[in-house]
Amino acid sequence: MKGIQYLTDEQGQRNAVVIDLKRYKDLWEDFQDALTAKIREKEPKISLEEVERQLRTQGKLIDKIQDTI
């Protein structure tokens, strides 16, 4: 396949791959996202509300101030 090279060990077994990111950038990003999700699937989950509460407590999130004109 053009733009993909396999690296092999002494026995000829494939053990790594080199991907042309100019050609396969979108495909690589999809693969990376799927791999990240797989790695993180066992991590504890928290609700959006809890994330917002934590960010507000840390001063990293503020509520929008609505203009009344």
Could you report the average pLDDT of every consecutive run of 10 residues in the chain (69 residues)? 94 96 95 96 95 93 66
Is residue 34 helix, strand or coil? Answer: helix
Host domain of residue 45: 4-57
Instruction: Report if residue 65 sits inside a domain.
Output: no
Domain tally, the chain: 1
- Would residue 31 count as lying in a domain? yes
Nearest-CA neighbor of 8 among 40, 32, 17, 48? 17
Tell whether 69 is covered by a domain.
no
Residue 69: the pLDDT is: 53
The answer to whether residue 15 sits within a structural domain is yes
pLDDT at residue 6 in the model: 96
Residue 14: strand pairing partners: 8
pLDDT value at residue 1: 83
Q: Is residue 19 classed exposed, middle or buried when 0-12, 13-18 and 19+ CB atoms within 10 A define those classes? A: middle
* Dihedral (Cα; 26, 28, 33, 39), 10-degree rounding: 180
Specify if 67 maps to a domain: no
